[in-house]
Structure 1
């Protein structure tokens, strides 16, 4: 079977987060965007991804929480990953002590809001921090609220559990040898560029691309720029795969 390209969405995201990349990347291989269902751990999500795509070799890209799933796919099945792209994401476990407690409290407060007033009401409080301030109130902003509203409080609860108990991938970064691309909105306030620079420094041979005038939702905020970077990554990965024989 030809190479498959796996595009992993983030928290409360679905296929819409990759809509602008799918056609361009589809010229290089079949694209698959998994649905995590009610899986409540990053590991279970990674297992689902590996079970749901049959190709022996995969190109795996993950946005936000999906980047953490991509790293867990790499941990579990490095022999299957021909290329890795991590977008607007992170790699460390939840902090201990007060910082970790504060993260938990904030996430659970959003879940309480979603259960009490609905997913869109929760999204109206949560989404503004995920994109560049210039885009608040735009059609794009409303489309992100629509995407959040398509999810459910039960899915939100499962994904919050997954993130609160996320594995630490720090030790994994130095072991990654496939073509690895790091992508981040230059003004991402959730997963800042500085974090991606740290990852880049720990991943030998990786490439880092900042997407200017973009917040956390870079694939949707600056779709053409992100697509260009991901096409570069796919071509790089395929060249390395061909050299590998």
Structure 2
């Protein structure tokens, strides 16, 4: 399936997500190349997740796309082994560390409160509260929202705790952006309130030659909300000449 002319595509899911978040992308690109979606298990740092990705990648060199927390893992992969990443796509994500002071403590408290809800009421009930900000308001309680809840329900509070730990202790990737040398796509839903477009504009401006794409009529879950538009952006990215 994959070859030197069609190197693998490694697709990194975000917090509590699994291969379902990339279902349409795997359908679109899987006939031409191997598409792998790693599972982080209960790894509890972004560095450990990145090392896991590198250890299990289907080839020495590959294309790498990360959504949400997966985008942070992708940047860590690129920091650890830049020579292995042919192309990089960062989608609905962030790159800064935990904020100092009140803002950081507020994030910590909010995440731990969700974990408490997950333990006491179950993952799906936690998701009903947490995930309402994930999708465009027009899709609340529709099939995409239910699919997001299904993903969350497939995870456990133990996985949630590990991934929260990873995010609360996330590295600040700001210093590595100027050194990213492979073709890079920065993509965001126009209505993403979790990882707003303004942040992606700053991110794209900091990476030499990066391409910024805003996906219309989409919130945070762009790959599921607007798969056609996302797939077209990824197809153009995969046609960019990779670093040799």
Report the TM-score range of the alignment, normalised by the length of the smaller protein.
over 0.9
Residue of 121, 124, 133 corresponding to 1:117: 121
Unmatched 5+ stretches in structure 2:
none
Regions of 4+ moved over 3 Å: none
Return the offset for 1:240.
2.9
Return the offset for 1:121.
0.5
The count of residues paired between Structure 1 and Structure 2 equals: 240
Match of 1:240 in 2: 242
Aligned Cα root-mean-square deviation (Å): 1.0
| 1:46 to 2:57 alignment | no
- Aligned equivalents of 2:28 and 2:134: distance in 1? 25
Return the offset for 1:58.
1.0
Return the offset for 1:98.
0.6
Unmatched 5+ stretches in structure 1:
none
- Aligned equivalents of 2:125 and 2:141: distance in 1? 14
Match of 1:11 in 2: 15
Return the offset for 1:117.
0.3
Alignment of 1:156-195 (within 5 A): 156-195=160-199
- Aligned equivalents of 1:151 and 1:103: distance in 2? 21
- TM-score, length-scaled by structure 1: 0.96
Residue of 56, 75, 88 corresponding to 2:60: 56
SS in 2 for 1:126: helix
Return the offset for 1:43.
0.3
Which whole-Å deviations, capped at 9, do the CAs of 1:55-89 have from their partners, x for residues lacking one? 11110000000000000000000000000000000
Partners of 1:45 and 1:69 within 8 A in 2: yes
Partners of 1:182 and 1:196 within 8 A in 2: yes
- Aligned equivalents of 1:62 and 1:176: distance in 2? 15
